[in-house]
Amino acid sequence: MAAMLSAAVREELEEMQSSRPNRPDDLARFEGLTNFLEELAKSLDRLAEAIEQAGKNPGSGDYSSAREIVTAIRDRIESWASENKGMVAGIWRTGIIGVSTSFLTLCGAPATYAALMSMATFGGAKLIEVVKDFAKKSGDND
C-alpha cells in the first residue's frame, strides 16, 4: 500500500506541473507543496522497502524501522499542516461542501440549491459573500 500511495503522489505531482502558477506568491506556495509531496513520496518508498525487508525474515517481527518511518511521516504531515493552515482549511472546506451537497441532494433538494446552501454554510466568509451576491443578482432575497 505504501508503494501504491507513493505512485499516486508522484502521479499527482506530474499532473500538478501542468498548472504551475506564475505569480511569485503562488509559485512559492506551489513549490512548497510540491517539495512536501516529493518528500512524502520518498518516505513512502522507504516505508515500502522497510516493510518488504522485515517481511523477508518471517517470525522476526522486526518492523521497528517501518514504525520509525511511519512516525516521521506523521510528524512531517502534522508539521506541514500546521505551517499551511490556510491551505488545509481550504481543502477541508471543499470536502465538507461536497459531502453536504451530496447529502442534501440525497434528501431530495435540487442539486443547485443543495450546492448553494452547502457553500453558504461551510464556504467561509468570502464564499458566503459570493453566494449572497449571486442570490441578489438572481432576485432571490431569501
**What would the pLDDT profile of 33-68 be if each residue is shown by its tens digit?**
899 999 999 999 999 999 888 888 776 667 888 889
- Residues 47 and 66 both lie in one domain: yes
Number of domain units in the chain: 2
The phi-psi region of residue 110 (left if phi > 0; otherwise alpha if psi is between -120 and 50; otherwise beta) is: beta
- Given 43, 61, 83, the domain boundary residue is 83
Instruction: Give the phi and the psi of residue 61 in degrees, each rounded to 5.
Output: 60, 20
- Residues 32 and 95 both lie in one domain: no
Average pLDDT score over residue span 66-85:
88
- Residues 28 and 77 both lie in one domain: yes
- Given 83, 100, 117, the domain boundary residue is 83
pLDDT tops 70 at residue 78: yes
- Residues 95 and 126 both lie in one domain: yes
Question: Which residue range(s) make up the domain with 108?
Answer: 91-138
- Given 42, 66, 83, the domain boundary residue is 83
- Residues 28 and 71 both lie in one domain: yes
What's the pLDDT tens digit per position in 88-119? 766 767 777 888 888 888 888 888 878 877 77
- Residues 37 and 59 both lie in one domain: yes
Cα–Cα distance list, 102 to 89, 96, 97, 127 (Å): 20, 10, 9, 19
- Residues 102 and 79 both lie in one domain: no
Q: What's the pLDDT at 54?
A: 84
- Residues 101 and 66 both lie in one domain: no
- Residues 53 and 111 both lie in one domain: no
